[in-house]
Amino acid sequence: MADYYVYIMSNCSRVLYTGITNSLERRVQEHKMKQVPGFTARYNLFKLVYYENTDDVYAAIAREKQIKGWLRKKKVELIESVNPEWRDLSLEWTQDNP
């Protein structure tokens, strides 16, 4: 059974990006290494500040769309409900952090 993750990346200025993946470690590393050109590379979004997982890809897609539709204030409340210090949650399993 596969896992799917909805996640939020940020930077020191707390710019937010919400995404979905089936491999959280790989995807976060891609963001950190700026391997995919785009928003996260342009704004140096290197901190994983929130994630949740499910085994249902359709639930993950729906949740990503839901979060993306929220105002920033609600996204910040979601992050701070589990990560009030905005720590990089990927530090436990990544070694080379910018």
The pLDDT score that the predictor gives to residue 97 is: 46
Half-sphere exposure of 13 (CA within 13 A, CB side): 6
pTM: 0.92
Q: Which residues pair with 10 in a beta bridge?
A: 47
Total residues belonging to the chain:
98
The pLDDT score that the predictor gives to residue 98 is: 47
Residue 37, classed as helix, strand or coil, is: coil
Report the C-alpha gap between 72 and 70 in whole angstroms: 6
Tens digit of pLDDT per residue, the chain (98 long)?
A: 689 999 999 999 999 999 999 999 999 999 999 998 899 999 999 999 999 999 999 999 999 999 999 999 999 999 999 999 999 999 987 555 44
Candidates 16, 21, 2; CA nearest to 74 is: 16
**Residue 18 near residue 75, CB atoms below 8 Å:** yes
* Domains of the chain as residue ranges with CATH: 4-92 (3.40.1440.10)
